Amino acid sequence: GRMSPWCEFLQGKDQQAIEYALKGKEMGSTFPDIYIVLAFSNYRLGQFDLACQFAQEFMNQDRADQRSGFIMLFMKLLLQVLKDESDILYLEEQILSLLPAFRAVEIEIPFYTLLADHYKKHKDLVKALEIQDRLIYYLEHDFNQH
């Protein structure tokens, strides 16, 4: 199943999620969501070089499908947050506008976490709180509905 790394990942078991995802990759899985786990779990563990590496690796692949296109935007955002670029608004808005169309990707937790981290770091607490509210809303309402 492609779901085991995802379940571990959503439960915050990052080390385990990474191991599963790497196994999937070794076995030739081309499922793009594996890279969300590889990049974001490493980010959450503070392994920023690895997070960067997997984000970059994904972006260097020649993927034409829409799901991968959406995930590319997330990888760009991850790299911008890691490089501490101050202006992420354009990407943030792009991803937000596509969220409803890509519910199945379940990118909300990593997406909102990255944004909240970014805005806290840049001392924009109002924005950080707004993002956290969105995450809480997502967890309470949408997260359990599939």
Question: 18-57 pLDDT, tens per residue?
Answer: 999 999 999 999 999 999 999 999 999 999 999 999 999 9
pTM: 0.90
Q: What does the pLDDT read at residue 7?
A: 75
Task: List CB contacts of 102: < 8 A, sequence separation 6 or more.
Answer: 67, 70
Burial class (CB in 10 A: 0-12, 13-18, 19+), 138: middle
Per-residue pLDDT at 141: 83
| Residue 1: pLDDT over 50 | no
